[in-house]
Structure 1
Amino acid sequence: MDITRRRLLSLVPATALLTAVNPAPAARAAETMTAMDADPGQLLTNAIGIYAGTPESNARTEVAAKLTSLDNTARTWLAALDTAGAGELFAGLSLGTSDPNLSASYQHLYEIALAFRRPGPASDLQGNEQVRARVAEKLGWLHDNYYGDQSKGYYGNWFTWEIGISTFVSKTLALIDAPAGLVSTYVASMDAYLRNGKDGDVDLDSRFHTGANLVDITANRVLQGALTGDDARIRKALQDQFTVFATVDPYNLQHGVTDGYYADGSFIQHASVAYTGSYGKGLLSRVVQTIKVLDGTEYAQGDDLVGVVQGWVEDGFAPLIFEGWMMEIVKGRAVSRTTTGYADVAVVVEAIVDLADYATGDDAGRLKSFAKFTSRPTINPTSFVSPVSVARYADIQADPAIVPADLNPAASSTAFNAMDRTVHRRPGFAFALARNSERVSKYEYMSGENLMPWFQGDGAHYLYLAGQDQTQAFGIDYYTTVSPYALGGVTAPVETRKTIPELYGTPYYDNPSHPLNFTSSSESQNTYVYFPVGTNVYSGGATLGAYGATGWVQSDDFAYASRDILPDDFVVYQNASATKSWFMLDDEIVVLAAGVGDKSRAVTTTLDTRIAAPGAPVAITGVRRDGRDWTGTGTTDPRWLRYTDGGVALGYYFLQPSQVSVGLEAVTRSRRVVRTSNPDTAVTKQVFGLTVSQPAHTTRSLAYALVPNATESALRGYQHGRIAVLVNTSRLQAIQHLGLRLTGVNTFTSGHHNLPGLTIDGPASVLLQRRADRSSTVAVSDPTTQRDTITVNLWAQYLRPESADPGVEVTRTVTGTRLTFTTRHTYGRSLTVRLLPAW
């Protein structure tokens, strides 16, 4: 990625962004480029080539399976047309009250149209005028009976009417070269259904027209403009879409929008949900398709857009992909779907493969190498949207000059502080952590998806081990069989909570007569039901090279804090209390917790949870604190424990005495317990849980290390002294790794926090590493995002700066060295200074 370009784009307002990517200012773009200069027909040709393929791509043997899949799918739906009953277009999809069924009906017409239009090996569907006429006739029938009447439409989910149906219709009209009358009829109706827009068009001030949703809507409108030859429509749609390329500046929001990509690689959708792995990948896919649609036309914007999107891939997506698997921490409610993390990454790989074709030089090489590195046997190219992408993917795979290479360093620690997520990577594992704050949601529930999400953002972690099939460790079966109160890393009160459908009998809370106006997609529904934020301000941490420190204060959600203004029948839940830190090193992740407890309820802290197949050779071994070997299950005070499942292992080393309960049980549940529309498929897993329980009216602390891939001999020889717990309170948590000469500190309260040789003022996250040559490096972050400066005093150390980030000031004092970090408007970003002895 061109960092300078990206930073430039992040500084200009949305209306000025077009100046950066277009020779003419945005306000004059439509005037300076006339319709005569453009060729909407080429846009249609490009679009059809994306979805149906080209003669060149479809002649490739590697694409044959994709074409066969297209043809078989079309035949399936043609047969379903023949057997449809009253009130159906396709058998089994009743119409009139179900918006998902209506959307699916349009999707199936699109899938038939693909088989009609695709070039390549001949089939009985290809170019078949009877098939084309049938699709056109059914489009008309759906419009006349179930779509065109605005007074009867727009029930259910707004997305169906403003995005979903329009996406399928626009593509289908293009694929069948629909009659002008049918096109104009549908375009008028699609405009009318943009009810969250303005005058039948996009409204950049609408909370519905942001991020991935905005890209979907505008991509549809570009295609509609190409169908109607409406140059002004195309330009306005592109102008609106290009606003998503501007990096979100939380201190200077455009149109009040927080959705989009941030400077640290974070992606937010739905105002406050960490969403790279679902909406983010959808946005990536559609944006790359826009680049492809514009290719070779006057509408194309050169390589500026390509450079920005490559930045998203390198900074935003790559850290979240481990051995071809998309991490759970950025999928919102999509974690409850049966789609695997490998399938999620297939969408990203297709976008990267296409993007590489538009990048140049080393940029293109890095993208192709990463696509090849990520394209493990779990990636199925037949799932790609475009046959052209399948052919490009095959070229990359077959080219010996393209060497597979990760975009991630072998060792890295990434603080996605703008979305309260942390990723720490080493060659044998990746550690992913989900946090929350008053800025970022605790979880996302919506539309009967992710029914039991309550603690998914409360310090839940996921430890991915190299070489493991992640479908056997995480994904849908993890959430199905693991108790929602016992996700790894979570502290939860002992109580039973009810899902939204159980509480209210519907997938949402319905009370339109209340002053807050609770309807299915209202702002109050979002704020209090679908994705409530936390009430804490402290969530974040510092990174120093490949090491990281993260701190977080557990809090209630916004709904509980607002209970006095909510309806009497609205159910809210109070959280337990805890202050937690994670110090992420080479061989271990050290976890400290203090102030853990609750005034009225018992509390359980789950140190870790793993799942395994029913017949997997799970074994748990360990040593008690008194030196005796430990095996089995039950409650004990261990020095260390080791979990193994075939070829993977994970160690737990306890840095202070803890009465730990070890459980291993077979759990069978239906995947429907986490999502109402999932198949009622029973799943059985061995569930391993490592928990600490405490009664009501008590508080306690915990200190332990997660040691990925630990051998038994390594744990037996693990020296307690290599990790020194310096302080573990609700005010201050700090450790020192003696071998790395690294000190990690999180301070949570105001005032001065004193450690040997070190003082920190107020809330901060600090990493300090001293080297044998007496140099030191210090990294500081403001996890509250609210401080103007942070001061660190190094006592009896007289140091001078060798290098420093902008905003770092080094002052020699009578008692040592004072470091002042200007954290104003850094939004949790780490500031680093390297220091040398003053003499």
Structure 2
Amino acid sequence: MSRRQVLSLLPAAGLLTVASPSRAAAGVDHARLLANTVAIFAGTPEVNARPEVAGNLAVILRNAKQRLTAMDQAGDGELFSGLRLGTDDANLRLAFQYLYEIALATRTPGGELEGDAAAQRRVVDGLLWLHERYYGNQSAGYYGNWFNWEIGISTQVSRTLALLAERLRAERPDLTATYIASMDAYLRNGKNGDVDLDSRFHTGANLADITGNRILQGALTGDDARVGKAISDQATVFATIDPYNLQHGVTDGYYRDGSFIQHDSVAYTGSYGKALLTRVVQTLKMLEGATSGGTSDLAGVVYRWVADGFAPLIFEGWMMEIVKGRAASRTTTGYADVGVVVEAVSDLADHVEGAGALALKKYVKFLPAADTATFVSPISVARYAAIRADSAIPAADLNAPERCVAFNAMDRTVHRRPGYAFALARSSDRISKYEYMSGENLMPWFQGDGAYYLYLAGEDQREVFGVDYYTAVSPYRLAGITAPVQERRTVPELYGRLWYENPGHPLNFTSSSESQNTYVYFPRAGNAFSGGTTLGAYGAAGMVQSDDAAYTAKQAGILPDDFVAYQNARATKSWFMLDNEIVVLAAGVSGEGGRDAVTTVDSRIAAPGDAVVLTGEGWTGKAWQTGDTTPPRWLRYANGTRRTAIGYAFLTRQAVAAGLETVTRSRRVVRTSNPDTSVTKNVFTASIAHPTTGAVPALAYALVPNATEARLRGYADGHLVVLANDRHVQAIKHKTLGIVAANVFSDGPRHAERLLIDGPASVIVQSGKRTVVALSDPTMKRDRVSVVLLGASLRLDKADEGVTVRRVPGGTLIQATTRHTHGRTFTATLR
């Protein structure tokens, strides 16, 4: 078959235990499938009678009434008042969405507009009007964003046709076929009006959206072949991506370590990942009782997405910024993002077998209460309410209280402890430095350069992170980054449009071209070293900072003369994640090109009225004050209003510029379509300058969540030691924990304490009653990685497959076969 070999990739037979479209459609009850779909979005009489669903139903009714009023007030050339059509594809998508919202209200049991024939006729007339004037002419359509034409509009139309199927069969039996033919014609990134699994546009969440629409279209027309192929195509998104055996060249999807990638190289769990989760769970619900096959095997795959992919990235009901791509600039909050996940998980629990179902329900109960008025399905609201009200279900996190997760496939790390979570964003020649697109995330340049986010328990994260963080904090002072001292301009400022246009160039720069993706929207970095190791709940990560693909190509003369590319600063960095602190090392820092550079230790925002206090102490024990030019031994940022604090214990001596500044900016500075809402925040920044002359030596510091001054003074006792900090090796020792952790960036054996490490590698060793060694290859290019424990004569207790241990002169050699393991950690326990 000219599609992925689904059955060989999935852990079980597949969505309908079928291997071909014809067998996929066998046994499909199209009427049941459509009834399921209507119930998903409109509810049922029994469900809608429940008081918990009232808020959701009120939203459905309110939206429909607003759309009907807008139709009444429409002027010449308008279907809805104020929605100009003909040149704006987003407005055309909205017009179809508004029709859907009216149709939905007419099919909502118990609603005021249920069965309203007049409203339904207005929807049908609206569909006819839009098709005749703005959609049916294929030569006039397909301007703007491809997504609206191939997915956005088709989603609204397909659902509207499903909601009004009976009326259309009775009154306009030709309309459904007419629209399906047009939707096929607009599927221009496909093949012959259908999905093309070789297309870079038909992957991941996008593929699930397209195939979900086509399943509905096939059910509407009784087209077994369409339903069967759409089911088969969608089933491919369940396959775990093997980067060494890509199917159709597709890197989008879920990886073994829980990573999710969309757009070929963007870490995207928190946006496209949740969209994919929602869509596949909806498909499971659509097919329930409508097929002869089971779905529990694939539901089990989705369970692992939730447990290993989503749960680590959700902190007290907030979706972390590091996996949201350009969506980080939207006003939608991390809590709303998690609400989408909660709805899907509530439904998924009914499809997962065994202990997984209970674990999901426990997790739903563990997370903060969601705003069910934003749920898509009234049935989901009822399921969610039942889970929350069930006293037999205890609340339980899917995360262990102490957890460190290396999402090395997408260059992300999450470190969790009771009281805080630390999230780190890196980049490499595999993963993009950032994502900009469509006027979203206008100033993203350093978001993948080791930017980190320290979430404290009990905070309202809307006041600390989210869109207001990016609005108020300078893009050159994001927490954790090292940036050159140079002002940059946004894409609209540079080119006067939302993308770079040059169709006459050999690279054919147009809005959605591959060259646009590669050099404008989400350029990758140039470094191979980006990754790390976990040992139990401890972690080490490292990265060599580099230029992005655009600057490299510009220097090589590949890009047009008017294309603007910026050189990056250089740095070698490590993050060692322990219990009470995260240790950060930086070496080889240079602004490049005669520029200074600045490393930002932290940037945090607070409301103007919050009682924020900054204290510190110098190396002589003298109190440190804002504006002090002497190196501090520690600083402490405390928000008395929110009862939170973070400490910064400096392990090397250098001047630190730290202080508070009141900043007022519009949210539109980070996204052109954001409301022009002014945000005023007190911005705390602590940074270290790297001048071109008299450069600051390598620096080291520890982030100490929830720190007291007494704890910060305790770092003087020497329990935390920097063993090495240069461009070749960065290593620390924590005497209390018995941990030595090192990142080796260069070839050849390198020393760290009593370790001899064959680099490049990332290694953690913890000594106690047993000695445990964890190691990985952050470059993902090596066949094997080895470390010698010098002076030790140890025997193997247990080890991961692929690890060997033997005695060598002077010590014990631990070697792991890392070929084609994509940065995975290997461990060995010795005695």
> What is the match of residue 758 of structure 2?
761
Whichever residue aligns with residue 456 of structure 2, its letter is: L
2 CA distance for matches of 1:451 and 1:529?
11
1 CA distance for matches of 2:342 and 2:53?
16
> What is the match of residue 534 of structure 1?
525
2:36 maps to 1:41: no
> What is the match of residue 607 of structure 1?
601
SS in 2 for 1:568: coil
User: How far did 1:231 drift?
Assistant: 1.0
> What is the match of residue 44 of structure 2?
54
User: How far did 1:718 drift?
Assistant: 3.2
Mapping for residues 615-654 of structure 1, pairs under 5 Å: 615-646=609-640, 647-654=643-650
Whichever residue aligns with residue 40 of structure 1, its letter is: H
Flag structure 2 segments of 5+ consecutive residues without an equivalent: none
User: How far did 1:25 drift?
Assistant: 7.5
The one of 84, 87, 103 aligned to 1:94: 84
> What is the match of residue 709 of structure 1?
706
The question of whether the paired residues in 1 share the 8 Å contact of 2:20 and 2:232 is answered with no
2:12 maps to 1:20: yes
User: How far did 1:419 drift?
Assistant: 0.1
Mapping for residues 277-288 of structure 1, pairs under 5 Å: 277-288=270-281
1 CA distance for matches of 2:477 and 2:704?
20
CA gap 1:768/1:675 in 2 versus in 1, 3 angstroms: same
2 CA distance for matches of 1:360 and 1:22?
16
The question of whether the paired residues in 2 share the 8 Å contact of 1:291 and 1:300 is answered with no
2 CA distance for matches of 1:581 and 1:361?
41
SS in 2 for 1:630: coil
> What is the match of residue 99 of structure 2?
109
CA gap 1:174/1:407 in 2 versus in 1, 3 angstroms: same
User: How far did 1:796 drift?
Assistant: 1.6
2:58 maps to 1:83: no
CA gap 1:515/1:835 in 2 versus in 1, 3 angstroms: same
The question of whether the paired residues in 2 share the 8 Å contact of 1:16 and 1:25 is answered with no
2 CA distance for matches of 1:25 and 1:336?
41
RMSD of aligned residue pairs (Cα, Å): 1.4
1 CA distance for matches of 2:625 and 2:10?
65
SS in 1 for 2:712: helix
The question of whether the paired residues in 2 share the 8 Å contact of 1:594 and 1:700 is answered with yes
CA gap 1:201/1:783 in 2 versus in 1, 3 angstroms: same
Whichever residue aligns with residue 190 of structure 2, its letter is: G
CA gap 1:801/1:19 in 2 versus in 1, 3 angstroms: closer
The one of 555, 580, 583 aligned to 1:587: 580
Give TM-score, length-normalised by structure 2: 0.97
SS in 2 for 1:629: coil
2 CA distance for matches of 1:24 and 1:309?
16
User: How far did 1:722 drift?
Assistant: 1.0
SS in 2 for 1:763: strand
Whichever residue aligns with residue 833 of structure 1, its letter is: A
User: How far did 1:89 drift?
Assistant: 1.1
2 CA distance for matches of 1:766 and 1:573?
34
1 CA distance for matches of 2:820 and 2:790?
28
CA gap 1:383/1:638 in 2 versus in 1, 3 angstroms: same
> What is the match of residue 4 of structure 1?
none
Give TM-score, length-normalised by structure 1: 0.96
1 CA distance for matches of 2:16 and 2:88?
46
> What is the match of residue 428 of structure 1?
419
1 CA distance for matches of 2:645 and 2:717?
20
Whichever residue aligns with residue 825 of structure 1, its letter is: H
Residue range with higher mean Cα deviation, 21-30 or 135-144: 21-30
Q: For residues 700-755 of structure 1, what are the alpha-carbon distances to aligned partners after superposition, in whole Å with 9 as ceiling and x for unaligned?
A: 31100000001122222333411010000010000000000000000001011013
> What is the match of residue 202 of structure 1?
195
User: How far did 1:170 drift?
Assistant: 0.3
User: How far did 1:390 drift?
Assistant: 0.4
> What is the match of residue 266 of structure 2?
273
CA gap 1:100/1:649 in 2 versus in 1, 3 angstroms: same
> What is the match of residue 134 of structure 2?
146
Flag structure 1 segments of 5+ consecutive residues without an equivalent: 1-11
The one of 83, 105, 115 aligned to 1:127: 115
User: How far did 1:86 drift?
Assistant: 1.8
CA gap 1:613/1:165 in 2 versus in 1, 3 angstroms: same
2:827 maps to 1:832: yes
SS in 2 for 1:560: helix
SS in 1 for 2:151: helix
The question of whether the paired residues in 2 share the 8 Å contact of 1:443 and 1:457 is answered with yes
SS in 2 for 1:443: coil
The one of 723, 727, 742 aligned to 2:724: 727
The one of 659, 663, 673 aligned to 2:659: 663
CA gap 1:832/1:151 in 2 versus in 1, 3 angstroms: same
SS in 2 for 1:66: helix
User: How far did 1:114 drift?
Assistant: 1.0
> What is the match of residue 70 of structure 1?
60
2 CA distance for matches of 1:305 and 1:260?
15
> What is the match of residue 148 of structure 2?
160
> What is the match of residue 452 of structure 1?
443
The question of whether the paired residues in 2 share the 8 Å contact of 1:18 and 1:25 is answered with no
User: How far did 1:42 drift?
Assistant: 0.7
> What is the match of residue 169 of structure 1?
157
Residue range with higher mean Cα deviation, 355-364 or 391-400: 355-364
SS in 2 for 1:565: coil
Q: For residues 181-238 of structure 1, what are the alpha-carbon distances to aligned partners after superposition, in whole Å with 9 as ceiling and x for unaligned?
A: 1100000000000000000000000000000000000000000001111111001001
CA gap 1:102/1:355 in 2 versus in 1, 3 angstroms: same
The question of whether the paired residues in 1 share the 8 Å contact of 2:16 and 2:294 is answered with no
The one of 676, 680, 690 aligned to 1:680: 676
2 CA distance for matches of 1:326 and 1:601?
36
> What is the match of residue 808 of structure 2?
813
> What is the match of residue 3 of structure 1?
none
Mapping for residues 493-532 of structure 1, pairs under 5 Å: 493-532=484-523
Q: For residues 240-284 of structure 1, what are the alpha-carbon distances to aligned partners after superposition, in whole Å with 9 as ceiling and x for unaligned?
A: 000010000000000000000000000000000000000000000
The one of 688, 709, 734 aligned to 1:737: 734
CA gap 1:373/1:633 in 2 versus in 1, 3 angstroms: farther
2 CA distance for matches of 1:636 and 1:399?
59
Q: For residues 428-484 of structure 1, what are the alpha-carbon distances to aligned partners after superposition, in whole Å with 9 as ceiling and x for unaligned?
A: 000000000000000000000000000000000000000000000000000001000
CA gap 1:480/1:248 in 2 versus in 1, 3 angstroms: same
The question of whether the paired residues in 2 share the 8 Å contact of 1:655 and 1:720 is answered with no
Q: For residues 584-634 of structure 1, what are the alpha-carbon distances to aligned partners after superposition, in whole Å with 9 as ceiling and x for unaligned?
A: 000000000000113410111101000000100010011111211123345
2 CA distance for matches of 1:687 and 1:361?
49
1 CA distance for matches of 2:826 and 2:669?
44
Q: For residues 117-174 of structure 1, what are the alpha-carbon distances to aligned partners after superposition, in whole Å with 9 as ceiling and x for unaligned?
A: 0113x41x11110011110110110000000000000000000000000000000111
Mapping for residues 307-386 of structure 1, pairs under 5 Å: 307-374=300-367, 376-377=368-369, 379-386=370-377
Mapping for residues 773-812 of structure 1, pairs under 5 Å: 773=769, 775-812=770-807
Residue range with higher mean Cα deviation, 675-684 or 64-73: 64-73
Q: How many residues align?
A: 817
User: How far did 1:19 drift?
Assistant: 9.3
1 CA distance for matches of 2:562 and 2:543?
31
> What is the match of residue 9 of structure 1?
none
1 CA distance for matches of 2:219 and 2:655?
67
Whichever residue aligns with residue 644 of structure 1, its letter is: A
User: How far did 1:34 drift?
Assistant: 6.3
User: How far did 1:29 drift?
Assistant: 5.1
Whichever residue aligns with residue 401 of structure 1, its letter is: A
CA gap 1:444/1:22 in 2 versus in 1, 3 angstroms: closer
CA gap 1:699/1:512 in 2 versus in 1, 3 angstroms: farther
2 CA distance for matches of 1:485 and 1:755?
33
SS in 1 for 2:153: helix
The one of 552, 556, 567 aligned to 1:574: 567
1 CA distance for matches of 2:407 and 2:352?
26
The question of whether the paired residues in 1 share the 8 Å contact of 2:269 and 2:309 is answered with yes
User: How far did 1:699 drift?
Assistant: 5.6
2 CA distance for matches of 1:753 and 1:821?
17
CA gap 1:573/1:317 in 2 versus in 1, 3 angstroms: same
- Percent sequence identity is 63
